[in-house]
Amino acid sequence: MAPAEEVDLGDALEELKSLLRIEDPCSPLDDKVLRRFLVARKGNAVKACEMYKAYLAYRRRTPRVQDEDVRVGLSHKKTFLVPGAVEDGTPCFMTIVNRNVVRDCPAGEAEMYAEYSFRRIANLLDKVGFQQTVFIFDFQHFSWDNLDTRTAAATLKQGQDYHPERLKKAILFKAPTLFWTL
């Protein structure tokens, strides 16, 4: 699907705003954010409204994650910006998956690290004027020590439900054959 800013959602956007104003007339509504939710729900304002309300509830119950909260994840140096990697200037990030050492992470930190990363990436995208990013997942030298299926599922849910339409493209470099069987 085309990026959120390229899709004509005029009527649906106005309908979504009106549905949200009924819920909370004082809440500021950002067109770029609302467009992403509309695109994720194929222009259905009612479904986008439900998704957006779930996102707001998630943000209220999820504290702002600070560097010290994800100390171990940051020490792995596994996710970083790759400047100039995409010809059109789209920001590109890479995660080197084998740097995720599951046994080192305290309980709950992996999910906090995912949210920390999503928010940092979203802030950078907003700062540079892009809505989407390219993400490279480097699976070279990946092993079972790097696999945490519970966190992977939670991270995918976070991205899909609470940060919709941020991913322009995902590249799985040297993905294990496990991915081809799913």
Average pLDDT, the chain: 88
Q: Quick one: pLDDT at residue 99?
A: 92
pLDDT at 137 over 70: yes
Tell me the per-residue pLDDT of 37-59, one tens digit each, with 9 for 90 and over: 999 999 999 999 999 999 989 98
Report the C-alpha gap between 51 and 41 in whole angstroms.
8
Burial class for 56, CB neighbours closer than 10 Å (0-12, 13-18, 19+): middle
pTM above 0.85, yes or no: no
Residue with tokens 């709950």: 108
What is the DSSP pairing of strand 167-173 with strand 133-138?
parallel
Beta bridge partners of 167: 133
